Amino acid sequence: MMQISDSYNQKNSLFTAMSRFIGAVNNMDQTVMVPSLLRDVPLEDGEDLKVPESAPSTNGYFQPDGDMYSSYVLLKSIRNDMEWGVLGDEPPKAEAEAKRSEAEDDDDLEKQFHFHLNGLQAVLSKLTLKANTLTNRYKEEIGCRN
């Protein structure tokens, strides 16, 4: 009984979600032999590659008018950030905000952790789906069907 419970929990772990995403991007990267073929190929056939219009636009990621190439580059960039860490300093405004609310947040660390963990797992699942969809769309574009 313990094995079933453990395997279920591992299936839903952050590490597993990260591994799935990295694996999907690696597969995408190995499949897409000529990334320039993705330029100017609209995302409209792969609706799940788009961000809902109600979602806030952050850093220009997944712009509605983007093409498959920009999504390809973005997914690879996110994978690299996950594997190697994010370079650069935190913006001064965010740093000041973090210092100000640090004392207030100490009591809620567990709640914050669970909130962000759930959010990260949801985002990783969506990114994994995007990488898999892009890989399949590329295969369709070059005429390689499974």
Over residues 72-94, the pLDDT tens digits come to 999 999 999 999 998 765 555 66
Neighbours of 93 (CB within 10 A): 8
Distance (Å, whole) CA 15 – CA 23: 12
Q: How confident is the model at residue 134 (pLDDT cuts 50, 70, 90)?
A: very high
Examine the pLDDT at 19 and tell me if it is beyond 60: yes
Q: What is the mean pLDDT of residues 11-19?
A: 91
Least Cα distance to 73 among 28, 31, 43 occurs for 28
User: pLDDT tens digits for 89-123?
Assistant: 555 566 656 666 666 667 689 999 999 999 999 99
Q: How confident is the model at residue 15 (pLDDT cuts 50, 70, 90)?
A: very high
Least Cα distance to 26 among 137, 132, 123 occurs for 132
Asked whether the beta carbons of 19 and 82 are under 8 A apart, the reply is no
Distance (Å, whole) CA 105 – CA 112: 8
Q: How confident is the model at residue 60 (pLDDT cuts 50, 70, 90)?
A: very low
Query: What's the start-to-end Cα distance of the chain, in Å?
Result: 38
**Model pLDDT, residue 26:** 97
Distance (Å, whole) CA 64 – CA 53: 8
Q: How confident is the model at residue 142 (pLDDT cuts 50, 70, 90)?
A: confident
Q: How confident is the model at residue 66 (pLDDT cuts 50, 70, 90)?
A: confident
**Model pLDDT, residue 51:** 43
